[in-house]
Amino acid sequence: MPYNANMEAVITPPSLPFTRKLGYAIGNPACNICYQVVNLFLLYFYTDVFGITGAVAGIIFLVARIIDAAVDPMVGYIADQTNTRWGKFRPYVLFGAPILCLFFALTFITPDLSPSLQVAYAFATYISFGILYSIVNIPFNSLAAAITQNTNERNSLAAIGLVLTQVAVVAVAIITRPAVKLFSSEAAGFGIMVSIYAAIALSMFMVSFSMTKEAISPTGTGRYNLQSALHLVTRNKYLLLLAGAYLASGIAGTVRSFSAIYFFKYNAGDENLFGPFMLVQVLGALPASALTPMIAAKLQNKRNLFIIGILIFIFGDFGVLLMSYSNPALFFLFNFIIGIGGGITMVLTWSMLPDTIEYGEWKTGIRGAGITYSAFSFVAKVAAAVGGGLAGAILTWAGYTPNVAQPDFVKDTILHMLALFPLIAGIIGLILLSFYRIDNRFFARMVREIAERRG
């Protein structure tokens, strides 16, 4: 059937009230406080506080992600089959978030154990945290596709969530290191601060649960078996392209996040600059994130704006690689530019992902929001594991020794972890996203044809 602009206007889903957008968005920083504290500080905590080597820490990260290979698809599958008075996805936030936040805090507790039991404790707490994060985060993210089928409203959901997340993450980045030093030891400081973060995250999860509502009820299209789930993912080429770009950026981003605290401690000579470093990036990302929905709606093509964001990121990252910390003003300027590019791409990643659910339903007849988000969650965790393992292995290979002056080779290696890996990831993302074809016109056609099939 040929495309008809008038038909698109008839089926465009209604706008969401701001309170519902805000309710969903509040859950984003709750998830990301847990995720980003682990991403920013756990490798440092393991090597410099808990006394685990970088290589062992890398193995812990890798094993956890292997377990996720089984857990994430099962969580997505079970969530898609769930039907309760709270909806498909919201119950996982209500009942899963308290246990998740408990294990988030336990991951940064340092019991007095022998070296071998320390490693066992780290394995147990981090792996449990990862499983619980899947149980909460996959259904929470799936809510975006269940709240609205309006592609522009999905831009808005992603943007508000990302703005709140950036504020929360930069607050964590700025507060954590100075706050930890106020206590008798780093071990005590991390344990207390992360427990506070866990309590804050839990309260935000509960607020998000109370303010959201699932509006999309895919009767007849949500039931499928595990074989169909694999088919649904592998036939969704746009999901695979987006996931491939996210895998590359996630690996590089994890290496960058882990290396940043080492960079300021050893390369720049002042670890207190880590907070301003995060703040500068967020100051670039906030306006970019806020403006992205409006620009994307104007362009009618999220992919093209995504590519612009990647190019901006690459420009800033190349500047960091060239300058290192020889000129602090330029270093922070280039990181501000990185924030602009990152703000654009992160909003669009989480706005384009629910659009691939419509593509999957249009292609296969199955609406598998949970399995789609679980596949993406697994990619994100693989990226975090590979990035974390790679960061630990690179530090060990380079000859890093905690809490001593580092030789030039180690400092150069830390710089490359901070800047070269993201540069390569940006190039990979450009290549993959060039094949992504869902624009607003194609999306409207898919929504219309899906509605026609449902009668």
CATH of the domain at 408: 1.20.1250.20
| Measured distance CA(425)–CA(418) in Å, rounded | 12
Cβ atoms < 10 Å from Cβ of 275: 19
3-state DSSP assignment of residue 87: strand
Q: Is residue 263 part of a domain?
A: yes
| Measured distance CA(306)–CA(348) in Å, rounded | 6
The CA angle 418-133-81, to the nearest 5 degrees, is 130
Q: Which residues pair with 8 in a beta bridge?
A: none
Query: What's the mean pLDDT in 35-41?
Result: 88
Furthest C-alpha separation in the chain: 70
Query: What's the mean pLDDT in 291-296?
Result: 92
Q: Say how many domains are in the chain.
A: 1
Sign, CA dihedral 58-59-65-71, equals negative
Sign, CA dihedral 301-304-308-309, equals positive
pLDDT at 452: 86
Tell whether the model's pLDDT for residue 91 goes beyond 50: yes
Mean of the per-residue pLDDT values for the chain?
A: 88
How many angstroms separate the Cα of 36 from the Cα of each of 156, 166, 202, 211?
22, 10, 15, 24
Question: Cα dihedral angle (263, 265, 270, 273), rounded to 10 degrees?
Answer: 50
Band of residue 220 on the pLDDT scale cut at 50, 70, 90: very low
* Cβ-proximal residues to 295 (8 Å cutoff; 6+ apart), any chain: 305
pLDDT at 414: 93
Q: Is residue 218 part of a domain?
A: no
pLDDT at 67: 87
pLDDT at 427: 96
Question: How many angstroms from the chain centroid is the CA of residue 386?
Answer: 15
Tell whether the model's pLDDT for residue 1 goes beyond 50: no
pLDDT at 65: 77
Q: Is residue 336 part of a domain?
A: yes
Helix (H) or strand (E) holding 452: helix 440-454
| Measured distance CA(271)–CA(262) in Å, rounded | 8
| Measured distance CA(287)–CA(194) in Å, rounded | 29
Cβ atoms < 10 Å from Cβ of 70: 11
The predicted-structure confidence for 247-282, as pLDDT tens digits, reads as follows 999 999 989 988 998 999 899 888 888 888 888 998
Tell whether the model's pLDDT for residue 225 goes beyond 70: no
pLDDT at 72: 86
Q: 244 versus 382: which is more confidently predicted?
A: 244
Query: What's the mean pLDDT in 336-363?
Result: 93
Please report, as a single letter, which amino acid is at residue 455. G
Tell whether the model's pLDDT for residue 367 goes beyond 90: no
pLDDT at 218: 52
Q: 234 versus 14: which is more confidently predicted?
A: 234
pLDDT at 4: 46
Query: What's the mean pLDDT in 383-404?
Result: 86
% of the chain surpassing 70 pLDDT: 94
408, with CB counted inside 10 A (0-12, 13-18, 19+), is: exposed
Whole domain around residue 437: which residue ranges?
19-213+223-454
pLDDT at 66: 81
Query: Which of 41-50, 106-115, 171-180, 372-381 is predicted with the least confidence, judged by mean pLDDT?
Result: 372-381
Q: Is residue 8 part of a domain?
A: no
Q: Is residue 244 part of a domain?
A: yes
Band of residue 373 on the pLDDT scale cut at 50, 70, 90: confident
In 3D space, the residue among 61, 35, 67 whose CA is nearest the CA of residue 47 turns out to be: 61
pLDDT at 232: 84
Query: What's the mean pLDDT in 77-89?
Result: 88
* Polymer length in residues for the chain: 455
Q: Is residue 13 part of a domain?
A: no
pLDDT at 14: 67
Tell whether the model's pLDDT for residue 202 goes beyond 70: yes
Phi, psi dihedral angles at 148 (to 5 degrees)? -155, 150
Tell whether the model's pLDDT for residue 121 goes beyond 90: yes
| Tokens linked to 185 | 């030891």
Tell whether the model's pLDDT for residue 385 goes beyond 80: no
pLDDT at 368: 82
* Cβ-proximal residues to 353 (8 Å cutoff; 6+ apart), any chain: 141, 144, 239, 242, 372, 373, 376
Phi, psi dihedral angles at 289 (to 5 degrees)? -65, -45
Band of residue 455 on the pLDDT scale cut at 50, 70, 90: low
Tell whether the model's pLDDT for residue 217 goes beyond 70: no
Q: Is residue 9 part of a domain?
A: no
Q: 308 versus 452: which is more confidently predicted?
A: 308
Query: Which of 168-172, 220-224, 317-321 is predicted with the least confidence, judged by mean pLDDT?
Result: 220-224
pLDDT at 5: 43
Q: Is residue 12 part of a domain?
A: no
Query: Which of 37-51, 94-108, 183-197 is predicted with the least confidence, judged by mean pLDDT?
Result: 37-51
Tell whether the model's pLDDT for residue 7 goes beyond 50: no
